[in-house]
Amino acid sequence: MASISLLEASVTILCFLILFYLRFKKHRGRFLRNWPVLRMLPGLLVALQYRIYDYSVKILEIFDLTFLFKGPPFAGMDMLVTVDPANIHHIMSSNFSNYIKGSDFQDVFDVFGDGIITTDSELWKNLRKSYQAMLHHQDFQRFSMSTMTSKLKDGLLPLLNHFAEEGTIVDLQDVFGRLTFDTILILITGSDPKSLSIEMHEDELAKALNDVGEGVFYRHVKPKFLWKLQNWMGLGQEKKMIEASATFDRVCAKYISAKREEINSSQGILDTSDGVTEDLLTSFMKLDTTKYKLLNPSDDKFLRDTILAFILAGRDTTASALSWFFWLLSENPHVVAKIRQEIISTDLPRTGNGQENLDKMVYLHGALCEAMRLYPPVAFERKSSIEPDVLPSGHKVDANSKIIICLYALGRMRAVWGEDALQFKPERWITENGGLKHEPSFKFLAFNAGPRTCLGKQLAMTQMKIVVVEILQNYDIKVIKGQKIEPVLGFILSMKHGLRVTITQRCSV
């Protein structure tokens, strides 16, 4: 009898979803309806088949920047979605202590362990202090700059020259992903995976990261009991998550073992002043535990989680930003002309990058910010409340409430950015005097806000500027007509189908 009842219930739900789908197709512009039992879940499932990010823009405009999503009872899917800058400032800064990642967040991102991205409270504070000391150390700053320039000279430019000579159609997003993957692995481990090559071989760690990005998104839109059950049974997307976690363990163990051997074999030779050496893995292995109050920083799990945290922060985010930026340039050739003119007027050398003058390129900086406003590398932020609260918008928040900040929709809100919010306008970031216009982080959230502001912001901006300058100085990029450009459903806002382009070398001036 139980199996018959389950079958009947399943058929009923399936018929309901089919009828809802047909109705939704006819009335797509309507907001999510709160149905009996299933509540708003059917609308969410159908919206996933369309452009859900653009749909979220419509919903949040209708509901004045904040919307309460109701899932089925006991499914753990209720969430408050907001893009109200006052709410964001309240959550991320003024009442920061009440809004944490929380246990649900750590469950969703469990494959990344206990790195800085997934942790809260004292552990997060101590991790951040240690990360900040290493990233801002002069030795690491020099190491990161030399790594980026050598990767451009020996990796990116030869590869683009090859594509230009062969007249090959290439996925520029894939190229940027390989560039940032190689660069961040060198900075973390000192080892170059050399995925940026003519052979374009697939790296198992990079593939695992791609699988996890998609899996994390679907964990947000599925009832927790369902994806937990799929994980336990090793089914569907959860099977990929399990395999990706095993890949993380195996590959990180290899890097950790190799680094230990390197340190042991060079004892007394490496400069360990201030506990900071060139790559981050070495620095963490030599970390002063009493100074940063971290337990067992040389422990394999700690090091594995640290490696993944840095990769997650520095690989796909920058590649995504660069990919959308070059697509927007293809749609706005006048912006390309202005950036090239700025390169000339700033007197940047044609080769060698001229990093010391990059900060003078106000228009380029504004153009990059404008691209990340419309296409933020991280699609959404997730928080959980500790105590009940009332947001500036007047919405009540219960303890343990799930709050989603949709960065994609935030950048498109006319109430936040004006009637021209959907337009790509680098001038938006430039003052009347020609300087950079500051926008508060709770309005422009690409690098997070408040105490969790991205520690690698300056590093990422510098890397993107160097890449853009090198490419625009030396190449013309033409996007292939007719391809479908849309964001993938994932934690990182990558292009679903990549960015297919042809590359032509520019004549020397």
Per-residue pLDDT tens digits for 107-158: 888 988 888 888 888 888 888 888 888 888 888 888 888 899 999 999 999 9
DSSP 495: B
**Helices 236-265 & 172-189 angle (0-180, nearest 10):** 40
For residue 58, tell me if it sits in a domain: no
For residue 114, tell me if it sits in a domain: no
Show Cβ contacts of residue 203 under 8 Å, excluding neighbours closer than 6 positions. 181, 193, 195
Mean pLDDT of 388-399: 95
Give me the pLDDT at residue 267, please: 65
pLDDT at 14 over 50: no
For residue 42, tell me if it sits in a domain: no
pLDDT single digits (tens) 27-55: 444 546 665 556 566 666 666 555 778 88
Number of domains in the chain: 2
CATH number (domain holding residue 451): 1.10.630.10
Show Cβ contacts of residue 290 under 8 Å, excluding neighbours closer than 6 positions. none
- Same domain assignment for residues 16 and 150: no
- Same domain assignment for residues 7 and 147: no
For residue 475, tell me if it sits in a domain: yes
Give me the pLDDT at residue 297, please: 56
Closest by Cα among 66, 77, 4 to 42:
77
Of 166 and 277, which is predicted with more confidence? 166
- Same domain assignment for residues 21 and 166: no
Q: Residue 398: CA atoms inside 13 Å, Cβ hemisphere, count?
A: 7
- Same domain assignment for residues 155 and 25: no
Copy the structure tokens of residue 175.
């190229």
CA distance 153 to 194: 13
Q: Which of 3-12, 220-229, 291-300 has the highest mean pLDDT?
A: 220-229
**Helices 138-151 & 172-189 angle (0-180, nearest 10):** 140
Q: Where are the alpha helices (DSSP H) in 332-411?
A: 333-345, 362-374, 407-410
- Same domain assignment for residues 13 and 135: no
Closest by Cα among 184, 145, 190 to 285:
190
Q: Tell me the CA distances in angstroms from 42 to 13, 29, 417, 478, 490, one per residue in order.
A: 10, 15, 31, 40, 20
pLDDT at 355 over 80: no
Of 249 and 16, which is predicted with more confidence? 249
Give me the pLDDT at residue 396, please: 94
- Same domain assignment for residues 242 and 353: yes
For residue 215, tell me if it sits in a domain: yes
For residue 84, tell me if it sits in a domain: no
For residue 315, tell me if it sits in a domain: yes
Query: Which range marks the domain in which residue 435 is found?
Result: 121-505
- Same domain assignment for residues 23 and 127: no
Give me the pLDDT at residue 462, please: 93
CA distance 505 to 160: 9
Of 311 and 297, which is predicted with more confidence? 311
Give me the pLDDT at residue 356, please: 65
CA distance 453 to 438: 15
For residue 291, tell me if it sits in a domain: yes
Instruction: Give the Cβ contact number of residue 279 at 10 Å.
Output: 22
DSSP 395: -
- Same domain assignment for residues 230 and 375: yes
> How do 402-406 and 79-82 pair as beta strands?
parallel
- pLDDT > 90 in the chain, percent: 49
pTM above 0.75, yes or no: yes
pLDDT at 20 over 70: no
- Same domain assignment for residues 246 and 381: yes
Give me the pLDDT at residue 313, please: 84
> How do 389-390 and 170-171 pair as beta strands?
unpaired
Show Cβ contacts of residue 490 under 8 Å, excluding neighbours closer than 6 positions. 213, 214, 216, 217, 379
CA distance 299 to 285: 8
Query: Is 15 among the annotated ligand-binding positions?
Result: no
pLDDT at 449 over 90: yes
pLDDT at 272 over 70: no
Give me the pLDDT at residue 392, please: 97
